[in-house]
Chain A
Amino acid sequence: MSRPSVESATSRVQRLLTMVPWLVSRQGIEIEEAAAGLGITEQQLVADLDLLFMCGYGQMPDEMIEASYEGGRIFVTNADAIARPLRLSVDEAISLIVGLRSLAASGAGESSAVERALAKLEEATGSIPGMERVVVVEDDTQVGQTTAVLRDALAAARRVHLTYVVPSRDERTERDVDPMRLAHVEGHWYLEGWCHRAQDVRLFRVDRIEQVEVLDEASTPPEGVARRDLSAGAYQQGAADVPVTLRLRPAAHWVAEYYPVTSRTTSGEDLVVTLPTSNEGFLRRLVLRLGGSAVISGPVELRESVATQAAEALAAYSSP
């Protein structure tokens, strides 16, 4: 987590007032672990401890905080006056309460624990005016149920059996997956896991999981397999991809934003893009869906196959 390069005195005081109770309950914690837990650098932590050593409720030695980090372990004592954290600010209270509401809404947290935790937090923070107008809603209960099952499987480290539908390829498959994590990206939940069918790490959008069954087998993703970086979205590009050239009318310009195109030029108000794909079926469906606002320039076989499919589909409507 990054902090502004110059921290104001008041921000630092607030940070230290949170840090002292945290350290007081973790006597002997290693510097590295404490810095990670507090979200600061080790250098900053040492500077903070040096400063705390100069503070107290008076100037006599027995009134001063004892803060030491000799041998790489931190001890903070004689800090009774600030051994409890300051009450939560409105923003702090909101961050946890709205966070809990989002868990309740998404089904990601065990619901009775979320309800109990909310009640306790709201009691500790007191009522915050306007709080009821910051709302989190999720109305897709089936996704909530599937997420809850996957969350249990993840916590218990168990393999799952999925029935999974991929609309863009009109495909329905069954696979065994060792769950690695559940992530929420751009409004959708995804399960990332080791897919035994693909023998690779795969992302599964939770709303496309038709059925999930928790198996008796333990989840054993191979060691060292990497999680995907989801910060740029969930769409994955394959290795053996064929470049397809598309001309996009303005109504289809979103395609260039949504899929990872490798080149784009403008031509009048059209965009001409290259979209590499390993799956012709996916691209054919995309172009049929776009209804004339996207044209395949090449490869010519794909262009023909789209035109043929559209004509065949139309033929079904001309017969009596």
Chain B
Amino acid sequence: MAAPNTPAAKTERLLNLTMSLLSSRIPVPKQRIRRMVEAYQLVESDEAFDRMFERDKEDLRAMGIPLVTEDIGIFEDEQGYRIDQREYALPPVELAADERAVVGLASRAWAHATMAGTAATAWRKVAASDEVGEDPFAGLEPQLGGAEPAFEPLKDAVLTGTSVRFDYARPGTDGAVPRRVEPWYLTAWHGRWYLVGHDLDREATRVFRLSRITSAVTVTRDPISVAIPDDVDPVRMIAAIDGREPSQSPAVLRVRTDAGHWLRRRADRVEPIDDQWDRVHLQHSGLHGFASEIASHGPDVVVEEPTELRDAVVDHLRAVVDVHEGSLR
């Protein structure tokens, strides 16, 4: 037996207690447990044993082990303890080969160190009784992100429905501002995690990118006070703040035949003008970002419509000429 009062001794004691209670089909009275587990026998006073046993029971329950207390005395109210094997054990998850492959792959999706460790444990449990097969996805390395430190506490807060506090840096502003939020949805979109919730100070629905949270997240004990409205669409809200909203504004460009490949890829329609130029019809989203993209092509792409896009590109190019003044011969 390991030296008393060491983590190893406690590990041994908790394992022995777990196994003893799992192997018994009927509730076991405390005095009998004391005789079954060696470490308990070595405790001299009843009080010390009682304290140790109480702590151990709490530890097992905190681990998720379903330890139950039942009355066993017929005439007196004596109590017994039991861990029901059916409640304890993970039911066998009978996975076909292709299903097992995707679950294995899913368990490697996390970039976050803690979640990666948790997923590896979960995979070992689910695949405990499976043959070690060849991994059909060797070479496939998904990354689910979640590497932001804020992920874990926010995940807990979303699951338990409790409000949170953190400092948040909005893009384009200096410094971070404290925010109090009732979390509704934790959403991964294009490899990044976002929190959608009710901002308690602004009294409105807000989206937060986890990578912009600059402080530790404090999970309060305050339950959510504002119910999630039915019409909240987290994806739409995230898309709106992160500039990947669906393209909507039409534009017509003149593009040299051997250029503008990325523009052509998104085109609704490409029609030839002559052997040097094509006319490309496409949809775009932000005016400014699209003007930059067009400017990057230099003389290979010319805006035909609309006028405001044409003007934005002209301004953009003029700025480039201005800052490089003195370079032209």
- Cβ of A245 within 8 Å of any chain B Cβ, yes or no, is no
Q: Per a CB cutoff under 8 Å, which of A134, A288, A293 touches B298?
A: A288
Interface residues in A140-168 by Cβ distance below 8 A to B read 140, 151, 154-155, 165-167
Kindly state the interface size class of chain A when it binds its partner.
35 or more
Contact status of A314 and B321, CB under 8 A, knowing A16-B11, A58-B36 = yes
Beta-carbon contact of B144 and A135 below 8 Å: no
User: B99 — which chain A residues lie within 8 A by C-beta?
Assistant: 113, 116-117, 120
User: A96 — which chain B residues lie within 8 A by C-beta?
Assistant: 103, 106-107, 119, 122-123, 126
Contact status of A81 and B22, CB under 8 A, knowing A8-B7, A124-B91 = yes
Listed stretches A68-76, A104-112, A195-203, A261-269; interface member: A104-112
User: B115 — which chain A residues lie within 8 A by C-beta?
Assistant: 91, 95
Chain A, Cβ-Cβ closest to B301: A313
A285 CA / B295 CA spacing, docked (Å): 8
Beta-carbon contact of B110 and A95 below 8 Å: yes
Chain A, Cβ-Cβ closest to B116: A1
Listed stretches B43-51, B181-189, B212-220, B268-276; interface member: B181-189
Beta-carbon contact of A312 and B298 below 8 Å: yes
User: A133 — which chain B residues lie within 8 A by C-beta?
Assistant: 158-159, 184-186
Considering residues B87, B89, B139, which has the most beta carbons from chain A within 10 angstroms of its beta carbon?
A: B139
Chain B, Cβ-Cβ closest to A172: B261
Beta-carbon contact of A285 and B296 below 8 Å: yes
A84 CA / B139 CA spacing, docked (Å): 31
Chain B, Cβ-Cβ closest to A119: B99
Contact status of A184 and B296, CB under 8 A, knowing A130-B160, A306-B320 = no
User: B177 — which chain A residues lie within 8 A by C-beta?
Assistant: none
Interface of A is mostly: helix
Kindly state the interface size class of chain B when it binds its partner.
35 or more
A25 CA / B62 CA spacing, docked (Å): 27
Chain B, Cβ-Cβ closest to A296: B324
User: A124 — which chain B residues lie within 8 A by C-beta?
Assistant: 90-91, 93, 126
User: A130 — which chain B residues lie within 8 A by C-beta?
Assistant: 158-161
Instruction: List the interface of chain B (C-beta within 8 A of A).
Output: 1-2, 7-8, 10-12, 14-16, 18-20, 22-23, 36, 38, 59, 62-65, 85, 87-96, 98-103, 105-110, 113, 115-126, 128-130, 132, 136-137, 139-145, 155, 158-161, 184-192, 234-235, 259-262, 265, 291-293, 295-300, 302-303, 310, 313-325, 327-329
Closest 7 CB pairs of A and B: A292-B319, A99-B106, A187-B191, A84-B89, A95-B119, A92-B122, A9-B10
Instruction: List the interface of chain A (C-beta within 8 A of B).
Output: 1-2, 6-10, 12-19, 21-22, 24-26, 37-39, 51-52, 54-59, 80-82, 84-96, 98-100, 102-103, 105-106, 108-110, 113-114, 116-117, 120-121, 123-124, 128-131, 133-140, 151, 154-155, 165-167, 170-172, 179-188, 208, 210, 284-293, 295-296, 300, 303-304, 306-317
